[in-house]
Amino acid sequence: MSEQLSPEYLIHLGQQFGTPLYVYHAEKIKEQYNKLTTAFSRTNTLFFYASKALTNINILKYIGGLGANIDCSSINEVRLALHAGFPPERILYTSNGIGFGEIEEAQSLGVIINIDSLSNLEKFGQKFGHSYPVGVRLRPNIMAGGNLKISTGHDKSKFGIPVDQIEKVLSLVRKYNLHIVDLHIHTGSEIKDVDVFVKGIEILFDIIPLFSELQFIDLGGGFKVPYKDGDVETDIQCLADKIEEAFSNHPNPGGRPLQVWFEPGKFFVSECGYFITKVNVIKETEATTFVSVDSGFNHLIRPMFYDAYHEIENISNPHGPLKPYSVVGNICETDTFAWDRTINEVREGDYLVFRNAGAYGFEMSSNFNSRFKPAEVLVKDGKAQLIRKRDQFEDLLRNQIEL
């Protein structure tokens, strides 16, 4: 197990690099990847890191170096993956709702492509016929995931081609002699119950025999990580056992064993991330004691957008008496990170760290209120290195055209 970064060390990084600051601990990413490969050592499985969770180029390179593949949700993520050194055959591009031009570009770059609409599948058939292998993203009509905003497989979701339209997919396959090599489903994020994945493949088992050239089954991402005490992590070993069992009960009618793919994002990088902020102001009110930090939803939007819980620790006063506080940002809009949270006594100038901030933290940040995006630091082999400079004033004007 990789050690957590200590409060003293995090304070030191806050002082050295300034706040707000994202810190990523490389060894934790490795530990998570090892959990996956160890659990699935008996099955023919590949893991594609869902890079949308965190795309800093150094993180991509590190994950590539571990041996993982990469999943991209835009052509720019594909370009970043190539830049990080992933060869095209280890890059998966799972598109949704995009113009066909982007799919043509992905094809020209030689990456693996999953298509999620009949419309783009038809265009793909017209242009490439059987010449370029392709995957189809299906919507299994399963409700799963931490909350509705991060559920993607249900029957009102925009993602994927609804499974009940499989006849239409098949008629396109026949019409254009499409070379379908994988079937993809992704039901949501923060799925604790491994049976959701099992249910997903069971739906696919009915469909698999309809595609004679299949090689891969892509079950998407969505493994849960614990955000607070008592939270569970998806039981990866149990998942691996159940997937193995399911496949041994359903040998591929085509004879060729199918390889299983997963696309975890949070599981790789959530827990490696620490978001360090500094307390600007403490304000006593009748309702609560506000602690305003030098950040807001412009830097970490998950609590406001998904009601997500992030543990907040006063690393400057870890033994102070416990008191209730509402931790807010400095944005001119309500940006409550936590309401009535029990934290060790907070003083102005203290450093507060948000845990589990690696996934969809920096990645979803913005320059709202013309504030700078935070800097990012990678801690690897005991050494801390700046991997993204904090914005500067010029960055706010960059790309603006002053008339």
Residues contributing to the site for ligand LLP (CB under 6 A) = 50, 53, 71, 94, 150, 152, 186, 189, 220-223, 263-267, 302, 306, 359-360
Closest to ligand LLP by CB, 266 or 373 = 266
The first and second tokens of residue 2, run together, are: 């990789």
Closest to ligand LLP by CB, 13 or 72 = 72
Closest to ligand LLP by CB, 49 or 351 = 49
Least separation in angstroms between residue 52's CB and ligand LLP is 6
- Closest to 61 measured CA to CA, from 82, 78, 34, 85: 85
Least separation in angstroms between residue 343's CB and ligand LLP is 23
Closest to ligand LLP by CB, 185 or 315 = 185
Least separation in angstroms between residue 300's CB and ligand LLP is 10
Largest Cα separation within the chain, whole Å, is: 71
Closest to ligand LLP by CB, 271 or 350 = 271
Burial class (CB in 10 A: 0-12, 13-18, 19+), 79: middle
Give 253-258 contacts, CB < 8 A, sequence gap 24+: 253/208, 253/209, 254/209, 254/212, 254/214, 256/215, 257/44, 258/44, 258/208, 258/214, 258/215, 258/216, 258/217
Least separation in angstroms between residue 345's CB and ligand LLP is 30
The first and second tokens of residue 243, run together, are: 């997937």
Least separation in angstroms between residue 270's CB and ligand LLP is 8
Catalytic residue of the set 72, 238, 272, 332 = 332
Q: What are phi and psi of 307, to 5 degrees?
A: 55, 35
Closest to ligand LLP by CB, 14 or 135 = 135
User: By the 8 A CB rule, do 23 and 30 touch?
Assistant: no
Return the HEC string of 265-311. CHHHHCCCEEEEEEEEEEEECCCCEEEEECCCCCCCCHHHHHCCCCC
Geometric angle at alpha carbon 86, from 83 and 88, rounded to 5°: 100
What one-character DSSP code corresponds to residue 370?
G
Least separation in angstroms between residue 202's CB and ligand LLP is 20
Contacts of 228 (CB under 8 A, 6+ apart): 309, 311
332 assigned to active site: yes
- Residues annotated catalytic, as ranges: 332
